[in-house]
Amino acid sequence: MSSLTPTARVILGMLKLGMRTGYDVKKAIDTSTRFFWTASYGQIYPELKRLRKAGLVRAEAKPRGRVKRTVYSLTPKGERALHEWLTDSENVLFELRDEGLLRLFFGDLISREEVLANLRVQQQLFKMVLARFREIEVDARGGFADESQRFPHLALRYGIDFITWSRDWYAEAERRLEAGEPLVELEDGETGGRKRGLAAR
Amino acid sequence: MSSLTPTARVILGMLKLGMRTGYDVKKAIDTSTRFFWTASYGQIYPELKRLRKAGLVRAEAKPRGRVKRTVYSLTPKGERALHEWLTDSENVLFELRDEGLLRLFFGDLISREEVLANLRVQQQLFKMVLARFREIEVDARGGFADESQRFPHLALRYGIDFITWSRDWYAEAERRLEAGEPLVELEDGETGGRKRGLAAR
DNA sequence: GAAGGCATGTAAATCGTTACATGATTTA
DNA sequence: TAAATCATGTAACGATTTACATGCCTTC
């Protein structure tokens, strides 16, 4: 099992992808993994120091003019730890915290109109997120999206596709609630009977 | 804006849905919102005490035999706070932490075979999650799924549909990587040109 | 009589955000 | 010359998990 802290995982990867300073790493996170893996300065700088003490990264003072600046890179030990984590399939962390869904869960406690309003607000939020994603996708041409770095783009695609799917799911839920149709379809049998999800198309 | 802590939100809702003890609330969370909203005993019991001090819930000692037992219910103030939160559209919390995606993001740092292995492991995990979800959906007949409580079932449906979608997305990514096809399709124009997501069907 | 479920709690550790502080360099 | 960006860091607070501790009641 990998013993890297959550923040260490993204730091080591970003350093390997060419980021050099803590500031760089933070910027890269904010423009790429932010949707599914965040980290703040309050995590990054202390973690870089821990990683240095543990011998996974080396630090070099590389001031730019009079500005102090520390450039980090992976040690062989850090390379090994990164590769080990990337190919380890135990306990893959997956956490979701979705307040919109929690509200939907409690939909029976408010009026139909209030639920409809919530469903519409959610769709608006998804549309705003999508707009931001699309900007990033265009910007990214200069950043990660060259031949040797296809996967950052693929992960971004997952984000766009997921939010699109989710927006459509909410739209369908709204439509059904408005039309007075059953919210969830009845099961067909256990086997083979491909269960049509609410937003299946 | 709602000032309820994350744990308070789910506790108040669960009490309103009929849960009575801290233990009940925990069990309800574990069998229903766990996928998108968790809470541990270490959160729930202290939070119940805070809510009582704040006057949002009342606590009655209702021992069962010799076992001490505290039964909670909402005060009018608690009802108001719950309703306010359920209909408040500011700052809707959405957080995702997905290690599988982070690994995919760093796919350029490992071999094609290793990426394929990761994609397959992810699909297996999704299938296991789906199996658990389906059990819950069947069990839930006795719990939430009566006429007056349709929305818990709908939220569960979202979970099932989402994981199903995600599994399919990973399957398509695997297929493309195996076939040597481009991982992300090129854009067609800005307008109207319905961008086909990787796993669109 | 053993196992599992009901029930309540705390302590320690970890994880993470937010707000603050500082100052140089580059660009408009 | 003002604003944005580069760059590093800390302190306080808040959220959360894990592990531990306890003991009764119900079902097999």
- In the structure, how far is the CA atom of residue A39 from the C1' atom of nucleotide C17, in angstroms? 9
Three-state SS at B31: helix
CA dist A122 and A100 (Å) reads 7
CA dist B116 and B174 (Å) reads 6
pLDDT at B187: 58
φ/ψ of residue A58, rounded to 5: -115, 150
Q: Distance (Å) from the C-alpha of residue B69 to the closest C-alpha of chain A?
A: 26
Burial class (CB in 10 A: 0-12, 13-18, 19+), B1: exposed
CB-based contact B8:B39 (threshold 8 Å): no
CA A10 to chain centre: 11
CA dist A43 and A28 (Å) reads 15
Contact flag, residue B41 CB and nucleic strand D, below 7 A:
yes
CA dist A103 and A124 (Å) reads 16
- Tens of pLDDT, residue by residue over B129-167, are 999 888 877 766 545 556 778 999 999 999 999 999 999
The fraction of chain B above a pLDDT of 70, given in percent, is 88
Which amino acid is present at B126?
F
Question: Nearest-CA residue to the C1' of C14?
Answer: A5
Q: Where does the pLDDT of residue A195 fall: very low under 50, low under 70, confident under 90, or very high at 90 and above? A: very low
Q: Where does the pLDDT of residue A149 fall: very low under 50, low under 70, confident under 90, or very high at 90 and above? A: confident
On the question of pLDDT at B2 being above 90, the answer is no
On the question of pLDDT at A131 being above 70, the answer is yes
pLDDT at B201: 35
pLDDT at B94: 96
Contact flag, residue A124 CB and nucleic strand C, below 7 A:
no
CB-based contact B178:A124 (threshold 8 Å): no
Which tokens is A20 given?
A: 């050099």
Contact flag, residue A66 CB and nucleic strand D, below 7 A:
no
CB-based contact A55:A77 (threshold 8 Å): yes
Block residue for tokens 């999206």 = A145
Higher pLDDT, B164 or B67: B164
On the question of pLDDT at A1 being above 70, the answer is no
φ/ψ of residue B29, rounded to 5: -60, -45
Q: Which of A134-143, B1-10, B84-93 has the lowest mean pLDDT?
A: A134-143
Burial class (CB in 10 A: 0-12, 13-18, 19+), A185: middle
Which tokens is B22 given?
A: 């801290």
pLDDT at A28: 96
Give the torsion sign (CA, B39, A121, B129, B198).
Answer: negative
pLDDT at B108: 97
- Tens of pLDDT, residue by residue over B71-104, are 999 999 999 999 999 999 888 999 999 999 999 9
- In the structure, how far is the CA atom of residue A61 from the C1' atom of nucleotide D9, in angstroms? 15
| Single pTM value for the model | 0.91
Protein contacts on strand D: list nucleotides below 7 Å from a Cβ: 6-12, 14-20, 23-26
CB atoms near residue B18 (< 10 Å): 11
Q: Where does the pLDDT of residue B192 fall: very low under 50, low under 70, confident under 90, or very high at 90 and above? A: very low
Burial string for B54-76 (b: 16+ CB within 10 Å, else e) reads eebbeeeeeeeeeeeebbbebee
pLDDT at A180: 93
When the pLDDT of each residue in chain A is averaged and rounded to a whole number, the result is 89
Which tokens is A182 given?
A: 């059953």
pLDDT at A188: 45
Angle between helix B6-16 and B76-86 (nearest 10): 110
CA dist A32 and A144 (Å) reads 9
Contact at CB, A117 and B87, closer than 8 angstroms: yes
Q: Does an H or E element contain A58, and which?
A: strand A57-61
Q: Distance (Å) from the C-alpha of residue A40 to the closest C-alpha of chain B?
A: 14
On the question of pLDDT at B190 being above 70, the answer is no
CA dist B126 and B139 (Å) reads 20
Protein contacts on strand C: list nucleotides below 7 Å from a Cβ: 6-12, 14-20, 23-26
Which amino acid is present at B138?
V
Higher pLDDT, A146 or A116: A116
Q: DSSP for B94-150?
A: EEEEEHHHHHHHTGGGS-HHHHHHHHHHHHHHHHHHHHHHHHHHHHTTTTT-STT--
